[in-house]
Amino acid sequence: MNTDAGPFTARGKRALDTGWHHLAGVYDGASVTLYVDGAIFASGPARGRLLGQVEDIAMGHIADGSARFRGEIGETCISASAREEEWVRTRYEEFVAQS
């Protein structure tokens, strides 16, 4: 994610198992957190105001095309507010229950 203080990311230290996964990324102004299947997978410090949208949002690849996701993206959602861990976990559990 890009802020006026620079780019920030959260990277896990292990590869995901094959198969379906629910991913959520949250930036709260102090950290960026990656959730996988309703649980925290990686987190790191971050700061700054989010930059305004300069380019289209890229899903499944890096905007310049240097890396691609090999799989299928079933659904995306963008929220205007940072979500708490419980909210992310509950959405994941609701999604799984509906599948």
What's the pLDDT score for residue 54? 65
What's the pLDDT score for residue 78? 87
Distance in angstroms (rounded) separating the CA atoms of residues 10 and 94 = 25
Q: Which tops the pLDDT comparison, 94 or 2? A: 94
Backbone angles phi, psi at 38, to 5 degrees: 85, 0
Closest among 55, 28, 32 to 43, alpha carbons compared: 32
Q: Which tops the pLDDT comparison, 58 or 34? A: 34
Distance in angstroms (rounded) separating the CA atoms of residues 66 and 87 = 33
Backbone angles phi, psi at 21, to 5 degrees: -145, 150
36, containing H or E segment:
strand 31-36
